[in-house]
Amino acid sequence: MSDKVLIITGASRGIGAATALLAAERGYGVIVNYAGNVAAAEAVCAKIHRQGGEALAVRGDVTLEADIDHIFAAADRMGRLVGLVNNAGTIEPSIRVEDLDLARLQRIFAVNTFGSILCAGRAVRRMSTKFGGQGGAIVNVTSAAAKLGAPNTYVDYAAAKGAIDSFTVGLALEVAGDGIRVNGVRPGVIDTDIHAAGGDPDRAHRMGPSLPIPRPGTAEEVARAILWLLSDEASYTTGSVINVTGGRGIAP
């Protein structure tokens, strides 16, 4: 049994996988959640195990409450939950607002917004001192798109992540007195395969040279920000969102 369990949703690839690897290095027992790619999730766990860490791949779709309960039950078996990283997310091919339909909106918000809120509620029930817990931390992975709007490409995704920005602040204020800190990390143009899901696999490298720091970011750079917010070094930080954007979109 671990006394330091961390759930990371969508942890089989990209930012989630990088966060899982770094968290294990720092002593967390990690629940590596995945929706469909079991081989990728097990590869992340295998790497953690080779380095002497503890990790378990747990299948679960964050849009389904029964699956969310399955994820958290696995964490309960591993030990004491101290953190949640709401990282699971998705985009779809570029589209303008006049061409959006309800089915796509439901998919985008189900993964990027509703799943994070539902997972956070389960985490609060376990970590809150109000419910007999010992406190903990939640980090929501949002997006620079929430501030930039993503016109002509992913306005629906931007809106879903904008909701997570607001949720981060609201939940932080709600549970600050119960021993739980809630913060967010706002990645910008990061070199992961999420761009391929949007039909533009070269997007990060195409946009990178135009950024104030003229390159795309890496999943590891986002993971370091997440781990800082989870750590005691951020003990007086709650309701904050850190931009990891290479300077993009931070001007008032």
Task: Find, among 244, 222, 248, the residue nearest to 10 by Cα.
Answer: 222
Query: Catalytic one among 28, 34, 154, 157?
Result: 157
Report the alpha-carbon distance of residue 81 to residue 138 in Å, rounded: 11
Name residues whose C-beta falls within 8 Å of residue 44's C-beta, 6 or more positions apart in sequence: 11, 12, 17, 20, 21, 32, 55, 57
Q: Is 154 a catalytic residue?
A: no
Q: Which residues are catalytic?
A: 157
